[in-house]
């Protein structure tokens, strides 16, 4: 084949084979070499460059990094082949034709593999610099030709934006295809010359310089985008994909901040400044807060859908400043009292959440919150007609505030302290009276007639009362009234619960120390001593009025607490039937001096009897009735010829109180 030089190189190293083949003709260079993106420029050397001059076909090969070079001799290879005449011009003509076909959306006459190989061969023969210049000029000419379609001032804005988007998308598609053909140039010549742009960046730079940064085009593009965003903010339906594509174009061209962002933020500031002023006049605070939340949510969605993420902080800060920071005092003055009086917990949570986003928002909220507490609390304390309900109202008010701080204000310590400070301020505006009323309130709750609460509820109530007690300055006044009321409760036995009394005393001692409660504790000790004396005084011998047989049985228990039926029978020799009735009267009657096991009305042989240590009776003389025998005749029971008396009196002393 004339004008054709063939080269074949085969290398085998350690069982691994690497084959490289090259075929060069006047018109084409068909090489089946891999075009993988991961392969470096050094791995894609031209076959021609492997041949050293005057080497008689000797090729220097490196099988492994760091290994010594090996010589491979190719037989019958005399010298480096020569390129056909006008190779550079004819090859560029072919490449130029392919690029123009891509730019005009026509079919390419050559295969991509053939075009890629042509670029590779030109680069291998030191034509890369001129090739890069030729390609740049060709792309620039095409970009310049596209500017004409945007210069008509009568074009509708929507049509203009759509045409700009189409032009940008077409340019990107074209540059992707062009780069795939000139990839070898991009991977070798461009990498070796950091001062020049990659093919993709070169295309972006040309589009930016000749189209996007054209004064008329840029102005109409940015103004059109701002108008679309304004309509979308107003609730109109717009083409979000168009917005996203054009804003991405500005970002890719690196003119987003300079050309668009500042104008966008300025328009945003004007919009929300006017909106904030208008809605503060028109809407109640809850609705205004809901609107601010909605606007912030919408702006975050815009950032998600089409705005560049670099705009986020400035955009959200602008909305917060115009809708919140500029109206902090106005929002609180207009609506905090209404929200607190409810209390409208959901709206208060929203208020706290929004105010926490802006500088000094929580400080402003805390100050107004403190002022609200002082104003309402002073009203409760100062008005004499509210004395009867003062303590109950203060407890309810404190519970409400604690709930708001815990639920809506995220238990913020600043607000917790504000509640304490405000309570201590207003509760002492009326000297001594709150202390007196708190003491009387405790007295009512600890009286025996109070059936409103269980012991657990009473304990929780006392804890809440102690919170109010901590705020009052006149604790000595409280002590005086509390001591007086406690004495009355103890002396007349009107205390609802000794445990509750002692619990309250313990709380006071823990709060104020032992010196504050020593006299109160002394009152309890006196009552305990009095109780012991009364118990001792009332203790003494009881007189049991029993029959002879009952007395015999009871006397047995002076020697032991537990006796079986058989033991009692053996020790008394009482007739069995009479003994059963006697034990029945002592263990199963109203006055159960003995206890029987197992329980039951009938006395069995296996039963055991125990002296009842728990037996008490308020009477001094206690009569224990006998169980009468069911008689079948009118005969009386005779013992040793004597009639048994129905009752006999015995002074029985055995463990009876």
Beta bridge partners of 22: 7
Q: Which of 531, 537, 532, 570 is nearest to 553 (CA)?
A: 570
Question: Could you tell me the CA-to-CA distances from 527 to 169, 465, 480, 485, 535 in Å, in that order?
Answer: 98, 25, 19, 15, 12
The H or E element containing residue 608 is strand 608-611
**Structure confidence at residue 75 as a pLDDT band (50, 70, 90):** low
pLDDT of residue 595: 85
Q: Which of 206, 324, 310, 198 is nearest to 260 (CA)?
A: 310
The H or E element containing residue 621 is strand 621-623
Per-residue model confidence as pLDDT tens digits over 163-172: 999 999 999 9
Q: Which of 291, 264, 408, 424 is nearest to 339 (CA)?
A: 408
Q: Is the pLDDT of residue 129 over 70?
A: yes
pLDDT of residue 301: 95
Q: Is the pLDDT of residue 61 over 60?
A: no
Distance CA 612, CA 627 (A): 19
pLDDT of residue 30: 37
Quote the pTM value.
Answer: 0.64
CATH architecture designation of domain 215-323: Up-down Bundle (1.20)
Distance CA 176, CA 278 (A): 51
**Structure confidence at residue 38 as a pLDDT band (50, 70, 90):** very low
Angle between helices 328-341 and 285-305 (to 10 degrees): 120
b/e for 586-614, b at 16 or more Cβ within 10 A? bbbeebebbbbeeeeeebeeebebebbee
Q: Is the pLDDT of residue 615 over 90?
A: no
Percent of the chain with pLDDT over 70: 79
Q: Which of 373, 347, 376, 237 is nearest to 283 (CA)?
A: 347
Domain chopping of the chain, boundaries: 215-323, 356-537, 543-650
Residue 103 burial class via C-beta count within 10 angstroms: exposed 0-12, middle 13-18, buried 19 and up: buried
Q: Which fold has domain 543-650?
A: Ribosomal Protein S5; domain 2 (3.30.230)
Distance CA 171, CA 438 (A): 83
pLDDT of residue 179: 97
pLDDT of residue 91: 95
What does the mean pLDDT of the chain come to?
A: 81
* Token representation of residue 389: 């309900």
**Structure confidence at residue 92 as a pLDDT band (50, 70, 90):** very high
Angle between helices 199-207 and 157-181 (to 10 degrees): 160
Per-residue model confidence as pLDDT tens digits over 358-401: 999 999 999 999 999 999 999 999 999 999 999 999 999 999 99
Distance CA 127, CA 111 (A): 21
Average pLDDT over residues 425-448: 89
pLDDT of residue 418: 96
Whether 215-323 and 356-537 share one fold: the answer is yes
Please count the residues of the chain. Answer: 657
pLDDT of residue 536: 60
pLDDT of residue 220: 95
Peptide bond into 276 cis (omega under 30): no
Please state the φ and ψ torsions of residue 60, each to the nearest 5 degrees. Answer: -90, 120
pLDDT of residue 582: 85
> In the β-sheet with 621-623, what is the strand arrangement from edge to edge?
621-623, 543-546, 648-650
**Structure confidence at residue 486 as a pLDDT band (50, 70, 90):** confident
* Token representation of residue 470: 């901590």
pLDDT of residue 437: 93
Among the ranges given (73-87, 211-225, 453-467, 483-497), the one the predictor scored with the smallest mean pLDDT: 73-87
pLDDT of residue 58: 43
Q: Is the pLDDT of residue 68 over 60?
A: no
Q: Is the pLDDT of residue 35 over 80?
A: no
Q: Is the pLDDT of residue 509 over 60?
A: yes
Per-residue model confidence as pLDDT tens digits over 559-599: 878 888 888 888 888 888 888 888 888 888 777 888 888 88
pLDDT of residue 528: 67
Q: Is the pLDDT of residue 483 over 70?
A: yes
CATH architecture designation of domain 356-537: Up-down Bundle (1.20)
Among the ranges given (24-33, 290-299, 488-497, 623-632), the one the predictor scored with the smallest mean pLDDT: 24-33
Q: Is the pLDDT of residue 80 over 60?
A: no
Whether residue 469 contacts residue 438, with contact meaning beta carbons closer than 8 Å, is answered with yes
Distance CA 326, CA 318 (A): 11
**Structure confidence at residue 57 as a pLDDT band (50, 70, 90):** very low
Q: Is the pLDDT of residue 267 over 90?
A: yes
Q: Which residue has the higher pLDDT, 129 or 564?
A: 129
pLDDT of residue 649: 39
The H or E element containing residue 271 is helix 262-282
What are the helix and strand counts (H, E) for the chain? 25, 12
Average pLDDT over residues 246-259: 96
Residue 95 burial class via C-beta count within 10 angstroms: exposed 0-12, middle 13-18, buried 19 and up: buried
Q: Which residue has the higher pLDDT, 44 or 540?
A: 540
Q: Is the pLDDT of residue 188 over 70?
A: yes
Per-residue model confidence as pLDDT tens digits over 130-184: 999 999 999 999 999 999 888 877 789 999 999 999 999 999 999 999 999 999 9
Q: Is the pLDDT of residue 325 over 90?
A: yes
The H or E element containing residue 16 is strand 16-24
Distance CA 112, CA 116 (A): 6
Q: Which residue has the higher pLDDT, 649 or 282?
A: 282
pLDDT of residue 357: 95
Helix (H, G, I), strand (E, B) or coil at 28: coil
Whether residue 444 contacts residue 450, with contact meaning beta carbons closer than 8 Å, is answered with yes
Distance CA 276, CA 208 (A): 38
The H or E element containing residue 612 is none
Look up residue 327 and give its DSSP letter.
G
């Amino acid at each position: 084949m004339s004008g054709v030089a063939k080269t074949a190189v085969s290398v085998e190293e350690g069982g691994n084979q690497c084959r490289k083949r090259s075929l060069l003709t006047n018109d084409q260079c068909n090489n089946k070499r891999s075009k993988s993106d991961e392969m470096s420029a050094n791995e894609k050397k031209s076959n021609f460059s492997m041949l050293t001059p005057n080497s008689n076909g000797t090729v220097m090969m490196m099988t492994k990094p760091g290994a010594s070079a090996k010589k491979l001799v190719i037989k019958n290879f005399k010298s480096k082949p020569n390129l056909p005449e006008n190779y550079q011009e004819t090859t560029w003509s072919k490449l130029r034709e392919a690029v123009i076909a891509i730019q005009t959306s026509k079919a390419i006459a050559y295969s991509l593999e053939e075009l890629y190989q042509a670029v590779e061969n030109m680069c291998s023969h030191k034509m890369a610099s001129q090739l890069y210049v030729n390609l740049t000029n060709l792309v620039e000419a095409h970009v310049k030709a596209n500017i004409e379609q945007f210069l008509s001032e009568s074009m509708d804005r929507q049509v203009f934006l759509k045409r700009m988007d189409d032009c940008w998308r077409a340019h990107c598609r074209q540059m992707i295809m062009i780069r795939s053909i000139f990839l070898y140039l991009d991977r070798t010549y461009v990498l070796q010359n950091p001062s020049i742009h990659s093919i993709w960046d070169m295309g972006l730079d040309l589009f930016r310089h000749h189209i996007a940064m054209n004064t008329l085009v840029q102005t109409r593009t940015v103004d059109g985008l701002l108008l679309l965003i304004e309509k979308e903010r107003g609730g109109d339906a717009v083409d979000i994909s168009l917005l996203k594509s054009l804003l991405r174009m500005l970002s890719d061209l690196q003119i987003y901040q300079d050309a668009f962002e500042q104008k966008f933020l300025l328009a945003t500031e004007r919009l929300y400044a006017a909106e904030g002023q208008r809605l503060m006049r028109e809407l109640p605070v809850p609705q205004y807060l809901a609107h601010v939340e909605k606007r912030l949510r919408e702006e975050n969605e815009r950032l998600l859908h089409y705005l560049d993420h670099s705009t986020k902080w400035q955009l959200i800060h602008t909305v917060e400043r115009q809708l919140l920071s500029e109206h902090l005092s106005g929002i609180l003055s207009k609506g905090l009292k209404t929200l607190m009086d409810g209390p409208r917990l959901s709206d208060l949570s929203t208020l706290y959440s929004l105010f926490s986003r802006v500088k000094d928002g929580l400080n402003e909220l805390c100050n107004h919150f403190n002022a609200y507490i002082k104003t309402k609390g002073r009203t409760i304390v100062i008005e004499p007609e509210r004395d009867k309900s003062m303590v109950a109202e203060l407890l309810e008010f404190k519970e409400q505030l604690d709930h708001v701080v815990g639920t809506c204000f995220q238990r913020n310590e600043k607000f917790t302290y504000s509640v304490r400070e405000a309570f201590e301020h207003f509760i002492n505006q009326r000297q001594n009276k709150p202390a007196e009323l708190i003491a009387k309130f405790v007295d009512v709750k600890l009286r025996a007639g109070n059936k409103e609460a269980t012991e657990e509820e009473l304990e929780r109530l006392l804890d809440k009362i102690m919170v109010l007690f901590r705020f009052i300055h006149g604790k000595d006044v409280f002590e005086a009234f509390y001591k007086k009321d406690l004495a009355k409760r103890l002396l007349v036995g009107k205390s609802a619960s000794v445990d509750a009394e002692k619990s309250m005393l313990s709380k006071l001692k823990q709060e104020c120390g032992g010196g504050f409660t020593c006299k109160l504790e002394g009152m309890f000790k006196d009552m305990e001593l009095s109780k012991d004396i009364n118990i001792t005084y009332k203790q003494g011998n009881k007189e049991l009025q029993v029959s002879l047989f009952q007395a015999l049985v009871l006397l047995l228990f002076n020697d032991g607490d537990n006796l079986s039926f058989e033991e009692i029978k053996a020790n008394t020799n009482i007739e069995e039937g009479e003994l059963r009735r006697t034990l029945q009267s002592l263990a199963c009657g109203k006055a159960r001096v003995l206890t029987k096991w197992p329980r039951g009305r009938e006395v069995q042989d296996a039963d055991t009897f125990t002296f009842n240590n728990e037996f008490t009776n308020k009477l001094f003389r206690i009569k224990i009735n006998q169980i009468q025998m069911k008689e079948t005749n009118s005969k009386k029971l005779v013992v040793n010829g004597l009639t048994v008396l129905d009752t006999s009196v015995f002074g029985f002393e055995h463990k009876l109180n």
